[in-house]
Chain A
């Protein structure tokens, strides 16, 4: 067994620094280690054992064990193993050795832990504020258990401004965002420009952070959270929905019935189809090729209709509950879906053929937004960005979930490392998705949709789940808890890692290539920021001042 073998290798090398380990089943390994050895162990796992970095998690475990917890998650993709290396820290003045100089991809995650939990990553070279808003007082950490979900911190200062770094010598600053036609969501890049060349950038995002994880830990229940998780993202909502449900199921050792697994797979692939077609269209729009933009969205439209037929919604399918799904695929829908796939295939084939021969598009995308193998490794880049660099990873095959272990499909890779390769990867993956759905419709067996869960879920168990979203791996980490809700739930959307690769991808490129480079990772800022809510209750439009808005958000109306 892979997990056992990895564990014995770690024990051999680090001896008593490995305090205890948990091997809850195939493909999962939890190792609890001495805080002092954490960095060395992570370095060994990342560099010597060549694991892929996923995410770091901080948790306030004081009410339960009197300690803080930090975990670094890694994936052994070739051996189908997800592992979490965790350590407990003392309750007062928690500090942990930063791993970001040996695992550069941990940069943001450690800053987030510092912001939200207040665990200081010692030795982090760039410990700037990442998640919290500019006016948030120092030393107040909203994800700690003694901070209520609706609490307003003392000393919130509206006038405090974010301090940007000094631009390098000879460069002018071009502000890109928070609002820009190619950004569908607010995010701010400060580009350092020399002539038409980008020399560097600074990112300030997390403008739509709404504390969804806090909400889940304090007010929602296990079966509320999937609906909330879905609303993290408007494109790959179902991915978060499934990933959360699977993380809880893996923690509680529940296996949903086979029919539910097939339905999850079908909905995930429907979502991938719509997302890929949407993205190819957007990429074309960014480089000014609006005809293909319109055509690929036209081809996409029937996918939205079938999703509506199955779930009642074009998006936000509200699919999963713990231990099953809520919608069935009726024989009538089955037929319709088959016909739709045939039509889709017939329409998409000539588009791909035309695009792959088009010199004009290649001119704008070849050699642009380079992310090579080294960057993929160091920054933990995932999805089409990794596959376009020839890194053969895909959670559907590497860490099979739902019904993927019973299906036959290919993982598309390209070697160009550039935007063009990403276009090809995503265009071709459409055909694989069609193949997968067809197999699901063929193999799907009759049976119940949901498991009846009579007992309470076990408390204090860890669950991991990786789901391959259209943009890359979405990773959810759950610690089960009391009161029918998790103690900690950490979401890592693919953009969280891919966005960290952007500064390297746009450096020393033309400004004109910035938008398509950024577009090529298919950034999802609300995924990264996690949670954005819009109230549609009243149709009245009113212009709110900032103070009024803050007041509104802080007084609870029922």
Chain B
């Protein structure tokens, strides 16, 4: 029983993510269309797109097809593992299976999958995309890590359920570090979910999808699926870390409040994506560098109890 419950909970989380991810993508597309005075695809279109791609011929192309296949499976697996570790309306199901350090590792692994995919494709454009992705990762990944570490410092714990519960505000004094990190994460969230203005490594009009350019059929479907899931999971992480209020309510209420907050975040992502032009890689890196500096200040503040 002790083993079964976390596994069932984890599976439930995975199921929720898999079911909801295309829905949120559909909402995102619909709202984008409305902003652009278009009718847009039906809200369920993303499900059909995935089904269609999954049913297509599985073409082996690119430099090393084996690595390409591996990159996709790894991407999907990583995202789903993260899903098991993040509370989604309930407590984190596999709480005992890992700590926040594992979470930080897994989040980094998501980015590494894109690098692998780009390397496996081996074309000039995918390599360019890979180098851009690498630069982005180096300056971006520390931000989420710092946010989690700030929470860990405040609560003196690495436990998932303790840290992923608005812990960034859990200092004795006014939580300056938490507030600063909230700002930093809001400003960089677009980059974590790889949307305009930070879809630099895939930039269709420059790099023709970059690392993904050799992908087609089922493999492309899985990669796209992983990306959609990423939007949900990062939103869930953001909500548990920074907007914990209301999650403690009675079952259907708390759960609904949680998903309403996630939906709100997706809406924000959509609005930003629809009203911005893509940044150039050097501009983006400079932007991230400033955020990183601010985040480090927050870390120092946190270690002094603010």
Q: How close is A360's CB to chain B, nearest CB, in angstroms?
A: 5
Complex contact B277–A298 (CB within 8 A): no
Complex contact B124–A172 (CB within 8 A): yes
Partner of A291, one of B36, B208, B279, B281: B36
Complex contact A288–B197 (CB within 8 A): yes
Complex contact A364–B277 (CB within 8 A): yes
A172-B128 Cα distance, complex, nearest whole Å? 11
Complex contact A298–B37 (CB within 8 A): yes
Given contacts A174-B128, A515-B206, contact A360 B276 (CB under 8 A): yes
B28 contacts partner chain A, Cβ-Cβ < 8 Å: no
Residues of B within 8 A of A512 (CB): 200, 203, 206, 280-281
Q: How close is A509's CB to chain B, nearest CB, in angstroms?
A: 10
Complex contact A285–B205 (CB within 8 A): yes
Partner of B205, one of A181, A291, A295, A363: A181
B58 contacts partner chain A, Cβ-Cβ < 8 Å: no
Q: Chain A CB within 10 Å — which of B37, B200, B278 has the most?
A: B278
Complex contact A284–B277 (CB within 8 A): yes
B interface residues, how many (CB within 8 angstroms): 28
Partner of A289, one of B204, B277, B281, B283: B277
Complex contact A361–B281 (CB within 8 A): no
By beta carbon, the residue of chain A nearest B124 is: A174
Given contacts A172-B124, A181-B208, contact A288 B37 (CB under 8 A): no
A476-B197 Cα distance, complex, nearest whole Å? 43
Residues of A within 8 A of B37 (CB): 294-295, 298
- A144-179 contact mask (Cβ, 8 Å, vs B): 1 or 0: 000000000000000000000000000011110000
Q: How close is B124's CB to chain A, nearest CB, in angstroms?
A: 5
A517-B293 Cα distance, complex, nearest whole Å? 33
A538-B156 Cα distance, complex, nearest whole Å? 75
B303 contacts partner chain A, Cβ-Cβ < 8 Å: no
Q: Chain B CB within 10 Å — which of A174, A361, A512, A515 has the most?
A: A512
Residues of B within 8 A of A513 (CB): 280
By beta carbon, the residue of chain B nearest A191 is: B124
Residues of B within 8 A of A295 (CB): 36-37
A218 contacts partner chain B, Cβ-Cβ < 8 Å: no
Complex contact A196–B205 (CB within 8 A): no
B38 contacts partner chain A, Cβ-Cβ < 8 Å: yes
A182 contacts partner chain B, Cβ-Cβ < 8 Å: yes
A290 contacts partner chain B, Cβ-Cβ < 8 Å: yes
A177-B128 Cα distance, complex, nearest whole Å? 16
Complex contact A175–B124 (CB within 8 A): yes
- A275-311 contact mask (Cβ, 8 Å, vs B): 1 or 0: 0000000001111111101110010000000000000
Q: Find residues 257-298 in chain B having any chain A CB closer than 8 Å to their own CB.
A: 274-283
B196 contacts partner chain A, Cβ-Cβ < 8 Å: yes
A289-B283 Cα distance, complex, nearest whole Å? 16
Q: Find residues 65-86 in chain A having any chain B CB closer than 8 Å to their own CB.
A: none
B199 contacts partner chain A, Cβ-Cβ < 8 Å: yes
A134-B278 Cα distance, complex, nearest whole Å? 38
Q: How close is B195's CB to chain A, nearest CB, in angstroms?
A: 10
Interface size class of A (residues with CB under 8 A): 20 to 34
A511 contacts partner chain B, Cβ-Cβ < 8 Å: yes
By beta carbon, the residue of chain B nearest A514 is: B206
B35 contacts partner chain A, Cβ-Cβ < 8 Å: yes
Q: How close is B192's CB to chain A, nearest CB, in angstroms?
A: 17
A180 contacts partner chain B, Cβ-Cβ < 8 Å: yes
A29-B281 Cα distance, complex, nearest whole Å? 52
Q: Chain A CB within 10 Å — which of B124, B196, B205, B283 has the most?
A: B205
Q: Find residues 170-211 in chain A having any chain B CB closer than 8 Å to their own CB.
A: 172-175, 180-182, 196
A513-B125 Cα distance, complex, nearest whole Å? 15
Complex contact A294–B276 (CB within 8 A): no
Complex contact A288–B203 (CB within 8 A): yes
By beta carbon, the residue of chain B nearest A173 is: B124
A378 contacts partner chain B, Cβ-Cβ < 8 Å: no
A510 contacts partner chain B, Cβ-Cβ < 8 Å: yes
Partner of A288, one of B32, B36, B131, B196: B196
Partner of B277, one of A172, A174, A361, A514: A361
Residues of B within 8 A of A515 (CB): 205-206
Complex contact A510–B282 (CB within 8 A): yes
A196-B197 Cα distance, complex, nearest whole Å? 19
Residues of A within 8 A of B203 (CB): 288, 512
Residues of A within 8 A of B283 (CB): 363
Complex contact B280–A510 (CB within 8 A): yes
Q: Find residues 503-520 in chain A having any chain B CB closer than 8 Å to their own CB.
A: 510-515
Residues of B within 8 A of A174 (CB): 124-125, 128
Residues of A within 8 A of B32 (CB): 290-291
Residues of A within 8 A of B280 (CB): 363-364, 510, 512-513
A169-B124 Cα distance, complex, nearest whole Å? 18
Complex contact B128–A511 (CB within 8 A): yes
A197-B276 Cα distance, complex, nearest whole Å? 24
Residues of B within 8 A of A360 (CB): 197, 276-277
Residues of A within 8 A of B208 (CB): 180-181
Complex contact B199–A288 (CB within 8 A): yes
Q: Find residues 185-204 in chain B having any chain A CB closer than 8 Å to their own CB.
A: 196-197, 199-200, 203-204
By beta carbon, the residue of chain B nearest A354 is: B275
By beta carbon, the residue of chain A nearest B208 is: A181
Q: Find residues 1-45 in chain B having any chain A CB closer than 8 Å to their own CB.
A: 32, 35-38
Q: Find residues 478-528 in chain A having any chain B CB closer than 8 Å to their own CB.
A: 510-515
Q: How close is B174's CB to chain A, nearest CB, in angstroms?
A: 33
Q: Find residues 357-408 in chain A having any chain B CB closer than 8 Å to their own CB.
A: 360-361, 363-364
A363-B278 Cα distance, complex, nearest whole Å? 10
A374-B233 Cα distance, complex, nearest whole Å? 54
Q: How close is B15's CB to chain A, nearest CB, in angstroms?
A: 33
A273-B278 Cα distance, complex, nearest whole Å? 26
A306-B196 Cα distance, complex, nearest whole Å? 35
A361-B283 Cα distance, complex, nearest whole Å? 13
Q: How close is A347's CB to chain B, nearest CB, in angstroms?
A: 11
By beta carbon, the residue of chain B nearest A288 is: B278
Q: Find residues 210-251 in chain B having any chain A CB closer than 8 Å to their own CB.
A: none
By beta carbon, the residue of chain A nearest B199 is: A288
Residues of B within 8 A of A196 (CB): 128, 131, 281-282
Q: How close is A302's CB to chain B, nearest CB, in angstroms?
A: 13
Complex contact A364–B205 (CB within 8 A): no
Q: Chain B CB within 10 Å — which of A174, A287, A298, A515 has the most?
A: A287
A180-B208 Cα distance, complex, nearest whole Å? 7
Given contacts A174-B128, A288-B196, list 10 more A-B pairs with CB under 8 A.
Answer: A182-B205, A196-B128, A285-B205, A287-B277, A288-B205, A288-B277, A288-B278, A291-B32, A364-B277, A510-B280
10 cross-chain CB contacts under 8 A:
A181-B205, A182-B205, A288-B196, A289-B276, A295-B36, A360-B197, A360-B276, A363-B283, A364-B278, A364-B280
Q: 7 nearest interchain CB pairs?
A: A288-B278, A294-B36, A289-B277, A287-B277, A512-B280, A291-B274, A182-B205
